[in-house]
Structure formats: C-alpha cells, structure tokens
C-alpha cells in the first residue's frame, strides 16, 4: 500500500476533524478532486488492527448516511437486502482482510467482514464506502438507492460500479 501524500493527509484531517490514526490511500474522489473514500492500512500506527478497510470521509455523504441511519436505515437494510448477498459481501471482505493482514506481517489477526462484522449490517457508512470503492457491496448499493430517494446523488464522483 502506498501512503497518502502530505496534501491528502491534510485534506482527510480536515474532513475528519482529527489526524488519521493509520496510513491510507485515496480510493474514491469527486471529479473536483475532493476525497470521498480512503482505504486504510490493516493496522493503525500503534499496532491495533483497523477493522474498516474503506472509510467514508466526505462530509456531505457522511451526514446524509447518518440521517439515513437515524431514520432506521440499518434495520431497514437488514430487512430489504438479500441475506445471501450480504453474507457473500462479508465473506469477500473477510477473505480480503485475511490476505491484507498476512501481507502486513505479524500482529493480531482479527476476522470479520465489512466494518469488522460477520453478519448483518453494522454501519451503512462502511457498506457505502465499500460499494463506492469496489462496486459490489449490496448494502452499499441499497444505500445509494435510499440516498437517491432523499435527493442525494453520486453523479460527480469517480467511482467503480456506480453510473
């Protein structure tokens, strides 16, 4: 994993309101260049495992997803997203995590899927970030649909899997 540039670290620090605790690269940007999603290194600088591979840092999207969650979006997603597709997304994320942890060297070897969970939906933010980065997370796709119903579109983002 190549590290973010100093300008990217500064931009993400501003977006998060704090200095990131681990190394990252930029995974998704707006066409204007603004950072939307980062890909975290498997371990934080202090050696703790980072459970979330893709992190949604865009302020506008984070706010919109927080509203969706506050309105019961996590439970709604668990009811409406195909359980098998969700399980496959967690399995895929867990396999990718295991590979990245092996490549990272010795240290704790946590398991789990999207956002470190094994089943269900823990965080719509993490699922959306994963979908924006890889185009195949079903909960992330559902989140995009729900945001569109609320008037939030992803039209100006350079993402895989999202038209």
Ranges of the chain whose pLDDT falls below 50: 160-163
Kindly report the number of other CB atoms within 10 A of residue 153's CB atom: 11
What's the start-to-end Cα distance of the chain, in Å? 27
Q: Where are the domains of the chain?
A: 6-158
Count of C-beta atoms within a 10 Å radius of residue 82: 12
Q: What is the pLDDT of residue 90?
A: 78
Contact assessment for residue 162 and residue 154, using Cβ atoms and an 8 Å cutoff: yes
Strand partners, 24: 40
Distance CA(32)–CA(17), nearest Å, equals: 21
Greatest distance between any 2 Cα atoms in the chain? 45
pLDDT at 119: 62
Question: Percent of the chain having pLDDT more than 70?
Answer: 83
Contact 63, 152 (CB under 8 A): no
Q: How confident is the model at residue 51, as a pLDDT? A: 78
Q: Is 43 helix (H, G, I), strand (E, B) or coil?
A: strand
Given this model, what pLDDT does residue 88 score?
Answer: 86
Beta carbons of 82 and 136 less than 8 angstroms apart: no
């Amino acid at each position: 994993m190549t590290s973010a540039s100093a300008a990217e670290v500064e931009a993400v620090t501003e977006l998060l309101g704090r200095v990131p605790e681990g190394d990252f690269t930029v995974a998704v940007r707006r066409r204007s260049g603004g950072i939307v999603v980062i890909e975290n290194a498997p371990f934080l600088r202090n050696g703790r495992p980072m459970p979330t591979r893709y992190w949604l840092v865009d302020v506008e999207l984070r706010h919109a997803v927080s509203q969706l969650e506050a309105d019961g979006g996590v439970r709604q997603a668990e009811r409406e997203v195909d359980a098998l597709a969700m399980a496959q997304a967690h399995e895929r994320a867990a396999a990718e995590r295991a590979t990245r942890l092996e490549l990272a060297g010795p240290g704790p070897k946590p398991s789990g899927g999207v956002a470190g969970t094994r089943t269900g939906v823990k965080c719509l933010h993490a699922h959306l970030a994963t979908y924006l980065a890889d185009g195949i997370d079903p909960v992330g796709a559902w989140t995009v649909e729900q945001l569109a119903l609320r008037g939030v579109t992803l039209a100006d983002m350079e993402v895989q899997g999202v038209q």
